[in-house]
Amino acid sequence: MVNLNASTLQLPLDSNPEAEFHYVWLRDNCNCNECCHSDTKERILVSADIPLDIAASSASLDEQKLKVRWNQSNHVSVYDLSWLSQHDYSQGSFTDDPATSGFMPRVWGREFESSIPTFQYRELYQSDAALRAWCESIRDYGLTIIRGAPSNEGEIERFAEHVGCVRETIYDRLHNVRATPGEYNAYNVASTTLELKPHTDMPNYNNPPGVQMFHFLQNDSVGGESTAVDGAMVVRQLQERDPDAFKILSSTPVRFRMFSDRGDIINSNPLLTLDVNGNLKVFRFSNQLAQPANIAPEQMDAFYRAYRKLGTLVEAPENKVQFRLNTGDIMATNNLRVMHGRNAYDADSGGRHLQLSYMDYDDVLSRLRMLMKK
Ligand code: OGA
Ligand code: ZN
Ligand code: ZN
């Protein structure tokens, strides 16, 4: 039943009659108490110490378990067949993370305006199912609205702590957005009444805050409607329509800077940071924070051509949703993917005051995993 090859072992699993595992991989994943700490389940065995000529001297199947005796130190390892099925990489990479396995972004454009996932603030405290659905919406769509939050100062910071933890930045744990001249954190255009074109926040960080939450304490002015654009949609369009531009923007570093009384953060990263599979990992776009391009002269024209192409897609009406948020509403975005903005507003027509807090995207996925375990 178990075939011993030169460097691999083959066995039939319910999920794959010809599953095949490398000896070195099996040895590395021995879960006996010598190799894994019995309390923490962390690896104690040092992977780099495994001899590369490790091999099974014998192997047998018994009671849904695979037992392997190794040709080194007479060590014995036992694996549940269900565990092997779950981690069978011989037919492609396995997905053993319940929060992200099979994940595909649900990209959207203007039509999404009428179906943005909307939640009731109180339910996110009272119902695990509601909170789980909210986490999933942040993951899948990257844009949600929460209604009915109390208009208390600091409420959004407490909400972040309810879900995960606050991601502190040089704008503090919580920051105010209102057009008050001299406001302590009036470092940027958000503290004016001007339009804010769709952007992601804080692309100047190597790890920008992953989830952004805007709590409207007051919105009585004319104008100031919120806008959002799905970076994943824009990137898909760019990739299809102008692969050269996609290549340039995923490989050319762009410098961003943001400062406050507390700090001054500068970093260079491509606008489109891809993962090892070429999928979008971090989308950065902020007209106001981009610094002078610092690239080779022979690349400058091509860079601006690509940048203009991306900017045109970001501004395209078919990609943009617009909606009005009122006192007690919260907009939450996946800031590694979705851009947000607002229309200009008239400060004389009524007050407008938002408080913002951030979380890391990891904290939302973490909360989702904890809810899935319940
Ligand atoms: C911001 C921002 C949006 C708004 O402060 O970063 O995008 O509605 N504000 O004022
Ligand atoms: Zn072991
Ligand atoms: Zn912003």
Is residue 292 classed exposed, middle or buried when 0-12, 13-18 and 19+ CB atoms within 10 A define those classes? exposed
Name the nearest CA neighbour of 26 among 5, 96, 14: 5
What are 292-309's pLDDT values in tens digits? 999 999 999 999 999 999
What pLDDT is stored for residue 366 in this prediction? 98
Name the nearest CA neighbour of 155 among 226, 225, 216, 220: 216
Atom of ligand 1 nearest to the CA of 325: 8
What pLDDT is stored for residue 133 in this prediction? 98
Q: Which residues in the chain show pLDDT less than 50? A: none
Distance 49 CA to ligand 3 centre (A): 49
Structural domains in the chain, sorted by start? 3-86 (3.30.2020.30), 110-373 (3.60.130.10)
Enumerate residues 6+ apart whose C-beta is below 8 A from 91.
16, 19
Is residue 354 classed exposed, middle or buried when 0-12, 13-18 and 19+ CB atoms within 10 A define those classes? buried
What pLDDT is stored for residue 181 in this prediction? 67
- Measured CA to CA in angstroms, residue 111 lies from 169, 183, 205, 318, 320 at distances of 34, 37, 32, 8, 9
Distance (Å, whole) CA 215 – CA 351: 14
Atom of ligand 1 nearest to the CA of 201: 6
Biggest CA pair distance of the chain: 82
What pLDDT is stored for residue 191 in this prediction? 84
Best probe residue, ligand 1, of 171, 180, 196 (max atoms within 8 Å of C-beta)? 196
Residue 167 Cβ contacting ligand 1 at under 6 Å: no
The two tokens of residue 87 are: 């981690």
What pLDDT is stored for residue 30 in this prediction? 98
What's the whole-model pTM score?
A: 0.94
What pLDDT is stored for residue 321 in this prediction? 98
What pLDDT is stored for residue 180 in this prediction? 76
Best probe residue, ligand 1, of 171, 225, 340, 358 (max atoms within 8 Å of C-beta)? 340
